Structure 1
Amino acid sequence: MSKVRAPQSVAPDGKIHDRLDYLFTEEGIPVPGDGAELVLVDLGDHTIKYHKMVTPPVQVATRRGDGPRELFEGGEHMAIGDSVTLYFSGSDTGTPAWQVPLNLPNGLALTYGQIVALGGDFYGIPDKPISDGATAAERIARFSAAFNSLATLPASNKEAHEILQVMQVEIDAANQAINDGLPAHEAYDKLGDTLSLKWNVITGGGPTGIPLGRYLKLAAVNWDHFGSWAVLAYKAGHTAALQQAIKAGKSGQRQDLELAYAMNAFADHFLSDLFSGGHMRTPRKQLHDTVTSGFVSSFLSRYMHDEDCKFGLNVNNTQDDNWHAYGDKRYFDTVDVGNRNRVGFIVQSSVDEVFESFLYGTAPTPDEYAANSLLPDLQAVQNHLSTANYSPLFVAQGSTVLRRQNINDLNDRHWTADWWGATTLALLKASYNPNKPIGYLEPPTVSPVLQPNGWQSHTPSPPNWVDGNAVRYAFSYTSGLNESYAGPWSAFVELQGSYFPTLNVPEDPSGKASGRNIFRQFRNTPPTLVGSVARGVTSFIDRQN
């Protein structure tokens, strides 16, 4: 006999509010007779993911004389933003963004990376997505309103600090996983949606997700973060930032250039989203427009989003650059190092255009933005008939969205228009357990072995190759653009008079791998890719400082 569970809340007008998840549980959602109105709430698909690991407010160091800071402590989106260099004059040699407070009109002083992290997910106008603007001018106006919700509202000063303080939980968990030699995404998986509920409260909602705060309202209509819609949102914000940079050049006031950088940081949130596999081909907007319940479409998008983030996608750009892009929760995983480098490069290019507009008083047109040639080719990655990637869960075709016939077979290249949102969601919740895509490489089961007599130097080389430090290694299998996760780490070896070791790196016993990537980790630092070996080679010398 099924248990009876009370709804989460009943409003004064008699409306029953409950979470959509409970529709698919044994208890269900009790509805007291005909005529009752049920309001369903979900947690959206912007929970613990690609861009939520941000440090809390800190005293920003002076530009000179401060020691180095490990970027992994800033998290995903914040690390992307804070890894760039900012310039303020033609003779300026540049300053790391994490050292520069950008002062906003309402008194907030945030780093570039903090604004990247807050933009779009926490601040914006829920009923006015930027990309829904009918013209470029309207999209710029919508972007300005979204940015001003962070930059000009007095209430945002206190609220933003509270949001960033909650994010410290993610930082600590991810840092601990990295230091333990585990993939950072495992820490995010353990956190689940717990922080989302706290952010919902901070932004005006309830502790159970009911009522919706701004955070969850934005998540419910967040196609600004996906595919071509993200391109429109970024270009609107980048255009506004360039216009502000030109004004700053005329005024000569640093605060005006800081505002231009802050606007661009908000826009770069959408730009950096386009390097997350789950944001490239998920038809977020089309699912919302074609599925009866907006919340059902949000859940369906989340399944595809998480699938593409987990397994990643092979992508390319117009410069004939090819790579594999993982997604949310995996920015610091060893498999995503190539994607991590590329998103850092494109965000720096975006920042450089702001400074050049400030310096020279002119701005490129949207067709001339550096991002155009550096972004993944969305048309190519969204081509469901291409065998470059496994089969997408959903495919947009005009006003119709097709679904993969076998939800659990990533290699099933058959799609159907004969499906319903609610029944598909029930099927996913009950039995979703996808197989591995073709070309998937299982990680090694062994670690590299350090040769006792293979040390190449007996001269310390600061800052890492010094007595008292310790080092360990792991490796992954590679085959073209495909790469496995790293296998187990070797034990830490204490450094004492010997440095730069020689490793024995076993080959793939299955014969699928054509090479191996070698990763090094010094004690209390994040892992680093230090080299590769091809098939047939089992010896590797670590020569990197």
Structure 2
Amino acid sequence: MESAEHAWIGDQLTLSLEDGKHKAAGFGLHIRLGDSFTYGPTITYGQGIALGGDFYGVVDQPICTAEDPQGVFREGWFQLETPFIPHERSRILGIMEVEIKLVMAAFNAGQDPSKVYEEIGDRYSIDWAFETVFRYPRLSLKNFDHFGANAVKAYSIGHGIALDEARLAANEPKGSVLRRARLERAYAMNAFADHFLTDLFSTGHLRVPRVELYDTINDKIVAGNLARTMHNEDSKYGLRVRSKQGEEWFAYGDKRLLDKVSADNRQHVTAAAQTSADEVWTAFNGGPVSEYAALKLIPDFDYLIRNPPQDFRPLFKLNDPSSKLPLRRKELHDRTGQNYVDSWNPRQTLSDLAKGAPILYQPVRCLDLESGKFLGWMSVSSSADPYLAIVPNESAAHPCVWYFHGEDLYLRKATSGGDRYLGLSYGGSAGWGLWAGQSDPLIINKDMTISLAGDPKRLLCVDRWNSGNWGGAWTDGKPNRFVIQIDLPLPVRIP
């Protein structure tokens, strides 16, 4: 996830101390031990999550592959606690605060912060590279600790160290400065570890074969960029995930945590981070912490790989023991493609990916504008005059694409026997224009709702038929109609 997203998660938590519970947002945690509360710097829990792993760690030595993983985690923590370059940490956080303000301004205004990230680009990454003497980009070359099972290991190592620190705090004299400061330090250490935990709620970190791409491709820059491309694809379009407790939800990845479509994922990641922090307090009070409960709440990436229910197939996968190089999706830009190749050129693949995708039809998620809740997938009714239907299963969705005809914009659905276009059908319903022949130009509003170009006040909304199925209509003043927000990339005009 992005720095502002990591920080947001930490800010939602509540931390238990001996004088009561404290909101983590704005609450400074001591990271060095001293004989006075005025000694040494502090960071918030959210800042700790954002800094851990991305900005502080051992270059060329991930925690997950180290002979001494505890030692590597502690060395990364020591860099954060006592930076070699004076004021480095505060300068990193200063740049981060600019990002946070931009992102939160959009979030608080009801806009999707992913649009802000599109405008930001790599602006702050360049600044952070210079502030860290290029440690920041060098850490990303072997960022194995942030993906899949390796993230679980990195989190587990750091979480265990934080729990040990909490137990040491409990052994300090009651009422002493050292007892309080050490407990705060344990929370800050745990925040560092929570970076790897929270990364597992980003869909771009669940099924990328990060280590295998690195190990089998000679040019490590190419390997990293291929991993990043798959990471970005899974992050942008999302995946349906399931926890080991059986809970299912639709999640997205980096840059999309604070988008409206990610309300469910925000609840899940916040619950996991709170569970992790609560175990620090449990350890301080002498309670048993034999199993790390937060790991039961993460998306089950093993299940995701073994039982791919996704229409979106991974760009790379590992299911052919005869090939050391991960299999590559044959059609690079078709995320629904079922075919894979075991012989491919990494440089050529990266070049082909950079050329961009052709226009592709893709399933469309429908959301309730007011609440952001997932309503279903855009589909078609079984009636003679096919109306828009909203179905619960992605397998029944009818893929769509934006289509320009002159200056007019249409929503086109892939249909056997010819494409169909969304428009105003009989009785105000939204239809696909088979018998009635409707195909109305549309307007995409800033909040990703759709209006009829000929009557912009009429918005695409939910309608309920007598049979009990959900369908689509155009608003006409009738009550109890929920305006639909759609999740489909904005159109690009093709000359």
TM-score w.r.t. the length of structure 2 is 0.73
Tell me how far 1:292 sits from its aligned partner. 1.3
Partner SS state of residue 461, structure 2: coil
**Alpha carbons of 1:388 and 1:143: their partners in 2 closer, same or farther (altered >3 Å)?**
same
In structure 1, C-alpha distance between the alignment counterparts of 2:294 and 2:239, rounded to whole Å: 19
**Alpha carbons of 1:318 and 1:475: their partners in 2 closer, same or farther (altered >3 Å)?**
closer
Indicate if the aligned counterparts of 1:203 and 1:215 stay in contact, CA closer than 8 A: yes
Q: Does 1:478 align with 2:404?
A: no
Number of the residue aligned with 1:281: 207
Tell me how far 1:105 sits from its aligned partner. 1.9
- Aligned equivalent of 2:72, options 137, 142, 147: 142
Counterpart of 1:245, as a letter, is A
Tell me how far 1:154 sits from its aligned partner. 5.3
Partner SS state of residue 410, structure 1: coil
Show the 5 A alignment for 1:523-542.
Answer: 538-539=480-481
TM-score w.r.t. the length of structure 1 is 0.66
**Alpha carbons of 1:225 and 1:505: their partners in 2 closer, same or farther (altered >3 Å)?**
same
Number of the residue aligned with 1:349: 275
Tell me how far 1:436 sits from its aligned partner. 5.0
In structure 1, C-alpha distance between the alignment counterparts of 2:315 and 2:99, rounded to whole Å: 29
Show the 5 A alignment for 1:122-521.
Answer: 122-134=55-67, 138-153=68-83, 155=85, 158-204=87-133, 213-251=134-172, 252=174, 253-360=179-286, 362-365=287-290, 368-383=291-306, 386-397=308-319, 399-433=324-358, 435=360, 437=362, 439-441=363-365, 477-479=375-377, 480=392, 489=447, 506-507=461-462, 514=470
Partner SS state of residue 403, structure 1: strand
Bigger shift: 267-276 or 250-259? 250-259
Partner SS state of residue 382, structure 1: helix
Tell me how far 1:320 sits from its aligned partner. 1.1
Number of the residue aligned with 2:50: 117
In structure 1, C-alpha distance between the alignment counterparts of 2:72 and 2:298, rounded to whole Å: 23
- Aligned equivalent of 1:94, options 7, 21, 41: 21
Counterpart of 1:178, as a letter, is F
Indicate if the aligned counterparts of 2:462 and 2:482 stay in contact, CA closer than 8 A: no
Long gaps (5+) in structure 2: 34-39, 378-391, 401-443, 450-458, 473-477, 484-495
In structure 2, C-alpha distance between the alignment counterparts of 1:514 and 1:307, rounded to whole Å: 30
In structure 1, C-alpha distance between the alignment counterparts of 2:359 and 2:275, rounded to whole Å: 38
**Alpha carbons of 1:389 and 1:242: their partners in 2 closer, same or farther (altered >3 Å)?**
farther
**Alpha carbons of 1:300 and 1:508: their partners in 2 closer, same or farther (altered >3 Å)?**
farther
Tell me how far 1:140 sits from its aligned partner. 1.5
Tell me how far 1:506 sits from its aligned partner. 2.0
Indicate if the aligned counterparts of 2:59 and 2:135 stay in contact, CA closer than 8 A: yes
Counterpart of 2:480, as a letter, is T
Tell me how far 1:420 sits from its aligned partner. 1.3
**Alpha carbons of 1:247 and 1:139: their partners in 2 closer, same or farther (altered >3 Å)?**
same
Deviations 1:471-503 (A, max 9, x none): xx888643447799x975599xxxxxxxxxxxx
Indicate if the aligned counterparts of 2:251 and 2:265 stay in contact, CA closer than 8 A: yes
Indicate if the aligned counterparts of 2:252 and 2:262 stay in contact, CA closer than 8 A: yes
Pairs aligned (count): 391
Partner SS state of residue 507, structure 1: strand
**Alpha carbons of 1:113 and 1:422: their partners in 2 closer, same or farther (altered >3 Å)?**
same
In structure 1, C-alpha distance between the alignment counterparts of 2:301 and 2:479, rounded to whole Å: 37
Tell me how far 1:254 sits from its aligned partner. 0.6
**Alpha carbons of 1:99 and 1:198: their partners in 2 closer, same or farther (altered >3 Å)?**
closer
Tell me how far 1:115 sits from its aligned partner. 0.8
Partner SS state of residue 411, structure 1: coil
Tell me how far 1:301 sits from its aligned partner. 0.7
**Alpha carbons of 1:269 and 1:475: their partners in 2 closer, same or farther (altered >3 Å)?**
closer
Deviations 1:335-388 (A, max 9, x none): 00000000000000000111000011x5423xx1102311111111123x6233
In structure 1, C-alpha distance between the alignment counterparts of 2:249 and 2:448, rounded to whole Å: 28
Tell me how far 1:507 sits from its aligned partner. 1.6
Q: Does 1:52 align with 2:52?
A: no
In structure 1, C-alpha distance between the alignment counterparts of 2:89 and 2:471, rounded to whole Å: 46
Indicate if the aligned counterparts of 2:261 and 2:367 stay in contact, CA closer than 8 A: no
**Alpha carbons of 1:507 and 1:267: their partners in 2 closer, same or farther (altered >3 Å)?**
same
Indicate if the aligned counterparts of 2:365 and 2:374 stay in contact, CA closer than 8 A: no
Indicate if the aligned counterparts of 1:408 and 1:434 stay in contact, CA closer than 8 A: no
Indicate if the aligned counterparts of 1:474 and 1:489 stay in contact, CA closer than 8 A: no
Indicate if the aligned counterparts of 1:52 and 1:117 stay in contact, CA closer than 8 A: yes
Partner SS state of residue 3, structure 2: coil
In structure 1, C-alpha distance between the alignment counterparts of 2:281 and 2:393, rounded to whole Å: 35
Indicate if the aligned counterparts of 1:278 and 1:304 stay in contact, CA closer than 8 A: yes
In structure 1, C-alpha distance between the alignment counterparts of 2:199 and 2:354, rounded to whole Å: 26
In structure 2, C-alpha distance between the alignment counterparts of 1:478 and 1:306, rounded to whole Å: 24
Q: Does 1:104 align with 2:104?
A: no
Tell me how far 1:396 sits from its aligned partner. 2.2
**Alpha carbons of 1:420 and 1:540: their partners in 2 closer, same or farther (altered >3 Å)?**
closer
Counterpart of 1:115, as a letter, is G
Deviations 1:118-153 (A, max 9, x none): 11001111121111124xxx2122111111110133
In structure 1, C-alpha distance between the alignment counterparts of 2:328 and 2:103, rounded to whole Å: 34
Indicate if the aligned counterparts of 2:204 and 2:234 stay in contact, CA closer than 8 A: yes
After superposition, the CA RMSD in angstroms is 3.1
Identical amino acids, percent of aligned pairs: 36
Indicate if the aligned counterparts of 1:410 and 1:435 stay in contact, CA closer than 8 A: no
Partner SS state of residue 98, structure 2: helix
**Alpha carbons of 1:181 and 1:418: their partners in 2 closer, same or farther (altered >3 Å)?**
same
